[in-house]
């Protein structure tokens, strides 16, 4: 396969991951329209950017000339969603019964 396909897949995977992050940011805006404090933290944003880059690498690794471009966007979206859910600790999963 040509190298251009890998770059296109990485770009679309990165864009899909950034799109998912934009959706999460939009859902977390309060009723007055203020940005949550976590999105002002540079470390958090750097970590999310790192996840987006990794999503692009994963999409590039799965590059196939028979896939449509939307598949790479979906890979970026699903990787970001998977990494977000993996990083959360739910009280039920951790065994803590106090609510």
Q: Count Cβ atoms within 10 A of the Cβ of residue 19 and give its class: 0-12 exposed, 13-18 middle, 19 or more buried.
A: middle
Domain count, the chain: 1
Q: Domain for residue 98, yes or no?
A: no
Q: Count Cβ atoms within 10 A of the Cβ of residue 16 and give its class: 0-12 exposed, 13-18 middle, 19 or more buried.
A: buried
Q: Which residues form the domain of 24?
A: 3-86
Question: Does pTM top 0.95 for this prediction?
Answer: no
pLDDT at 90: 59
Q: Which helix (H) or strand (E) holds 83?
A: helix 69-87
C-alpha 23/C-alpha 15 separation (Å) is 12
Q: For every one of its 99 residues, what pLDDT tens digit does the chain have, with 9 covering 90 and above?
A: 688 999 999 999 999 999 999 988 888 887 888 888 888 899 989 999 999 999 999 999 999 888 888 999 999 999 888 887 887 765 445 555 443
Structure tokens at 7: 């770059």
Q: Domain for residue 61, yes or no?
A: yes
Q: Domain for residue 96, yes or no?
A: no
């Amino acid at each position: 396969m040509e190298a251009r396909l890998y770059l296109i897949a990485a770009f679309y995977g990165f864009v899909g991951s950034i799109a998912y992050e934009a959706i999460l940011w939009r859902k977390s805006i309060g009723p007055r329209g203020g940005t949550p404090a976590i999105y002002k933290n540079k470390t958090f944003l750097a970590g999310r950017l790192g996840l987006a880059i990794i999503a692009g690498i994963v999409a590039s690794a799965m590059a196939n000339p028979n896939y449509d471009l939307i598949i790479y966007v979906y890979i970026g979206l699903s990787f970001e969603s998977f990494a977000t859910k993996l990083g959360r600790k739910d009280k039920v999963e951790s065994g803590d019964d106090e609510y």
